[in-house]
């Protein structure tokens, strides 16, 4: 199975690197700067689950991509999706399967329109990783997972084949027969956390420590959950209680990566994570006043950043 990993940043570098470490046929689609880094220093992973140094990993740049691949693993940010599609499109053949692990749902519509829904699986991942100043992939916590599955819930032959390959190299990899539910539940948690910590510009613990903080956090969770429910993907009981516990833990330092991106002056996925959720809430006539305030805040940040 030939696997094209789009990018060799924190997420693509980690999961693709683990597959390569396990002896799988992996090629990284990278930009010139990253290609040079990989050629000179290799792909380095620093992780509580074990370090790895992969010398001269297979890499290709978009202008040299001509071969077809069996699987395309896509983990870019939503605002880079259009450029990513242009870069890996030549690798997509009639039997190629695309596994996107972007957050939210909007990217599925874009990929379906470009390549056909039959080529696009549902997917998600959970990992805390970054690139350090040496451009090494650093996993910040042991927790990691990557899941994929047919959007109709069937356990197809291609998903079984992908699962066999992925589980051979990635701890926490697994096929899901409820991938759309899984994706919606992650979106509920992520959007609640991102909207809250970005709007308040601080951690869950600090929000909880002030008057009205707990009600604000639970109110945000109620809005996102109501939107998921109206869309046919009501968050499950254990999931909801677990997330509720995470956002009501006193003293918690937890923040969303979106908030950390704001602090660093980086682009954010305002439209993909929050804006699209509001659009779906509007379509279902679900009131989401807190989400609207958070979205306005994020768009104002984008406007300021562009100045």
In this structure, are 280 and 147 located in the same domain?
no
Residues 79-117 have pLDDT tens digits of: 999 999 999 999 999 999 999 999 999 999 999 999 999
Any long-range contacts for 238-242 (C-beta under 8 Å, 24+ apart)? 239/185
Residue 204 tokens, joined: 């869950």
CATH classification at residue 295: 1.10.1040.10
CATH classification at residue 37: 3.40.50.720
In this structure, are 197 and 276 located in the same domain?
yes
**CA neighbours closer than 13 Å in the CB half-sphere of residue 85:** 16
In this structure, are 16 and 131 located in the same domain?
yes
Average pLDDT, the chain: 95
Q: Indicate the residue among 159, 177, 195 that finishes a domain.
A: 177
Residues 25-62 have pLDDT tens digits of: 999 999 999 999 999 999 999 999 999 999 999 999 99
Q: How many CB atoms lie within 10 A of CB 5?
A: 31
How many structural domains is the chain composed of?
Answer: 2
Residue % of the chain over a pLDDT of 90: 93
Q: Which domain holds residue 149?
A: 2-177
Label residue 177 by pLDDT band (50, 70, 90).
Answer: very high
Q: Which residues form the catalytic set?
A: 186
At residue 181, φ and ψ (nearest 5 deg) are -60, -45
In this structure, are 150 and 187 located in the same domain?
no
The pLDDT value given to residue 237: 79
User: Does position 128 have pLDDT exceeding 90, yes or no?
Assistant: no
């Amino acid at each position: 199975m030939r696997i094209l990993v789009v990018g060799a940043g924190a997420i693509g570098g980690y999961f693709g690197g683990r597959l390569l470490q396990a002896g799988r046929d992996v090629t990284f689609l990278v930009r010139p700067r990253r290609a040079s880094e990989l050629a000179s220093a290799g792909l380095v992973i620093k992780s509580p689950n074990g370090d790895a140094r992969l010398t001269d990993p297979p890499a290709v740049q978009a202008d040299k991509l001509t071969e077809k691949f069996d699987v395309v693993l896509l983990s870019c940010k939503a605002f880079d999706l259009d450029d990513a599609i242009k870069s890996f499109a030549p690798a997509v053949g009639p039997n190629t399967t695309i596994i996107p692990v972007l957050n939210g749902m909007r990217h599925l519509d874009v990929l379906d329109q470009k390549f056909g829904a039959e080529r696009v699986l549902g997917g998600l991942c959970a990992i805390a990783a970054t690139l350090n100043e040496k451009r090494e992939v650093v996993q910040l916590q042991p927790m990691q997972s990557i899941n994929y599955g047919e959007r109709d819930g069937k356990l197809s032959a291609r998903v079984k084949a992908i699962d066999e390959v992925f589980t051979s190299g990635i701890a926490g990899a697994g096929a899901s027969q409820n991938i759309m539910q899984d994706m919606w539940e992650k979106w509920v948690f992520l959007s609640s956390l991102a909207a809250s910590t970005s709007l308040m510009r601080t951690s869950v613990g600090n929000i909880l420590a002030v008057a009205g903080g707990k009600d604000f956090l639970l109110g945000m969770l109620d809005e996102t959950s109501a939107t998921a429910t109206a869309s046919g993907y009501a968050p499950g009981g254990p999931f909801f209680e677990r997330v509720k516990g995470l956002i009501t833990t006193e003293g918690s330092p937890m923040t969303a990566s979106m908030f950390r991106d704001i602090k660093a002056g980086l682009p954010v996925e305002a439209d993909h994570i929050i804006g699209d959720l509001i659009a779906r809430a509007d379509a279902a006539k679900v009131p989401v006043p807190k989400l609207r305030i958070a979205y306005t805040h994020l768009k104002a940040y984008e406007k300021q950043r562009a100045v």
